[in-house]
Amino acid sequence: MKTEDTSHRDPSATAAPRLWRPVAGAITAAAIVGSGFAVLTATAASAMDVLQPEVAVTAEPAPALDLGLDEHGHAHAAESAPAAEASAAADSPDAETAAPAAEHGADHGTDPQYSTAYLERNWKPTAYDSCTAELHASYTALGPDGKIYPTWHPAQVIDPATGELCTFGHEHGADPATSNIYDWVVSYLTPEGVEGKTGLPFGYASEALMTYGAEHEGMAMRHEDNAGHKVFVANGVQLIDEERDWVLDPAGKIVTCDFLIKQHQGSWSPDATSNNAHEAIYASRCSDGTEIISTTLSKFGNSNEFHKNCGANDRVSTLGSNLPAGYGGIRLIPDADCVQLHATGDDASLWGMYELWKGENLITDKAGNVLAHFDPWFGVRNPSRYYDAANSTETSNGISRPVDLAWGANAAKAFPWTTVKDAAGLHWQDPASPFDGAQRDFYLNQNSVSAASTGTVYTDPYGTNGQDSEFTGSIRQHLVPGTATSAATLSTQKFDTSADFGKNNGVHAPN
């Protein structure tokens, strides 16, 4: 089965409405769900199609970095439980954007409340980064609770204090302002009567979980790193059903939708090998009237396990997470066995490193009735970790670094490892490493709201226990049914096949 990228979007360009044809743009969901590495490599674009031409790299001594990690990327004991993970924040490649003055959100009013995500999980520079923590802290958004949160920013900006270009070393994906529904989503997420700078709040669901958990004994807390928040945009998507026919509204017109998604997806630490819940903002608005704005801790399969990204996608048991079980979805992550088969020697392929997180999100009422269903997937083509049981202990999940496969007796003889073959010992965080987690794609699947939905429901941070009125730790969800999507089973559509949000902008692992 051949699939094509339906977006052909330059991530540095402003997004414009895009059109798709059913056969070219759709992927049969069942085929991908049941696929192993062999099918995945047959359907995906080649590594040479999605990456830059080879450029030789010479090793230089790595700066001394203090990221609070041990040699395998494990967080030190100061990390909150369950172990939180770090990733990166991004902008469009090659963009040079003037940064706002570093006022720490002062434009939101006097005596603001700061979220845990802002105070404790915000970014701090490494020796590779030239922007300051204060400049990063100036990018803020108000959450629905009136607290200040970190938000999207470019990967590199002009520092107003120096007039010079500086880099943050991480990226947050697509610019959310390129979405057709950005203003609508932000207006919904911002408290009424507030004027001034607003945006997508990173960490709001985790903040709500703290409040909710205070009244629910035994509820595990979940705080994720700043860099792992990633934004995905798709405008003017024409929907296709499972038979690869257009989804039509009652007037016979093709249903089109705009999507704006913020998903936390860290691909550098052991976190996702055991933790299944990762914060998501999912928003869509369709021509048939369907509307969704949802914030949850989205679950990708079960905690304390992941599945291999090759062969039969065997389950791998891990440990350390206290997060609740999922009700579908899966995290396909490369492990040492898959890497040995598909990312070493003459048989090496970048697709041997491909991670695919398949979400499954159900917004339900107090009785368990489904009010909305959406299940986007998120792929990472160049993660900076893979699971390695040889590095695990009785209390931790071990990982190794893909860049290290470029050297040794059975070195990977394929792009991009060959670009660093003469740089033995290159630090995994070095910007010269081709493994920075910035080459990502995503898939859209189901997008439906039940006719039983009244438009607004308040749920717990996991999207369950929906009620008509607010309760402690609840999150307001906007769910409006449409005339066509509720009854349609949609085909999978893939986007951003060639996107690289870490190109020439200082991005490096951990991202």
Q: Which one-letter DSSP state was computed for residue 69?
A: B
Q: What is the mean pLDDT of the chain?
A: 83
The neighbour count for residue 285, using CB atoms within 10 Å, is 22
How far apart are the C-alpha atoms of 378 and 357, rounded to whole Å? 5
Residue 338 host element (H or E): helix 336-342
Q: Looking at residues 411-415, what average pLDDT do you find?
A: 97
pLDDT in tens, 152-175: 999 999 999 999 999 999 999 999
Task: Tell me which residue of 431, 382, 83, 112 sits closest to 225, measured CA to CA.
Answer: 83
The predicted structure's pLDDT at residue 196: 67
In sign, the C-alpha dihedral spanning 421, 427, 431, 437 is positive
pLDDT digits (tens, 9 = 90+) for 179-205: 999 999 999 999 988 876 589 999 999
User: In whole angstroms, what is the distance from residue 378 CA to residue 359 CA?
Assistant: 8
pTM above 0.85? no
| pLDDT tens digits, one per residue of 448-503 | 999 999 999 999 999 999 999 999 999 999 999 999 998 999 999 999 999 999 99
How do residues 132-152 score in pLDDT, each as one tens digit? 999 999 999 999 999 999 999
Residue 335 — very low, low, confident or very high, per pLDDT cuts 50/70/90?
Answer: very high
Q: How confident is the model at residue 28 (pLDDT cuts 50, 70, 90)?
A: very low
Name the band, by pLDDT with cuts 50, 70 and 90, for residue 4: very low
Give, rounded to a whole angstrom, the gap between the first and last alpha carbons of the chain: 32
In this predicted model, which residue has the larger pLDDT, 485 or 2? Answer: 485
Residues 365-392 have a mean pLDDT of 98
H/E run at residue 185 = helix 182-189
CA 237, 243, 247, 251 torsion-angle sign? positive
CA 33 to CA 36: how far, in whole Å? 9
Question: Looking at residue 180, what is its pLDDT?
Answer: 98
List all residues 6 or more positions away from 254 whose beta carbon is below 8 Å from its beta carbon.
238, 239, 246, 247, 248
Q: Is the pLDDT of residue 24 over 70?
A: no
- Per DSSP bridges, beta strands 386-387 and 370-374 are unpaired
16: confidence class by pLDDT, cuts 50, 70, 90: very low
107: pLDDT strictly greater than 80:
no
- CA neighbours closer than 13 Å in the CB half-sphere of residue 425: 6
Tokens 């920075």 sit on residue: 436
**Element housing 448 (H / E):** strand 447-449
Q: What is the torsion angle, in degrees rounded to the nearest 10, for the CA atoms of residue 74, residue 225, residue 404 and residue 128? A: -120
Give the Å distances, CA to CA, from 282 to 160, 287, 319, 511.
33, 17, 29, 21
The pLDDT-based confidence of 71 (bands split at 50, 70, 90) is very low
Q: What does the pLDDT read at residue 264? A: 98
Identify whether the C-beta of residue 89 lies closer than 8 Å to the C-beta of residue 123: yes
Percent of the chain topping pLDDT 90: 75
Q: Among 188-192, 242-246, 300-304, which is the least confidently predicted range?
A: 188-192
Provide the token pair at 286: 């369709």
CA angle 473, 83, 281 (to 5 degrees): 45
Please check the confidence at residue 269 and state whether its pLDDT lies above 50. Answer: yes
* More confident position, 226 or 48: 226
The number of angstroms, rounded, from the C-alpha of 115 to the middle of its chain's C-alpha atoms is: 20
| Burial of residue 62, with CB atoms counted within 10 A of its CB: 0-12 exposed, 13-18 middle, 19 or more buried | middle
Instruction: Give 98's pLDDT tier (boundaries 50, 70, 90).
Output: very low
Residue 185's CB is within 10 A of a number of other CB atoms, namely 23
What does the alpha-carbon distance between residue 296 and residue 143 come to, in Å, rounded to a whole number?
Answer: 13
- The pLDDT value recorded for residue 217 is 86
CA distance 400 to 270: 9
- Is pLDDT at 410 greater than 90 in this prediction? yes
Tokens of 121: 């999980």
Identify which has the larger pLDDT, 19 or 316: 316
Q: What is the pLDDT of residue 297?
A: 98
Q: Are 373 and 256 in contact (CB under 8 A)?
A: no
CA 228 to chain centre: 7
Least confident of 57-66, 107-116, 235-244: 57-66
What pLDDT was estimated at residue 324? 95
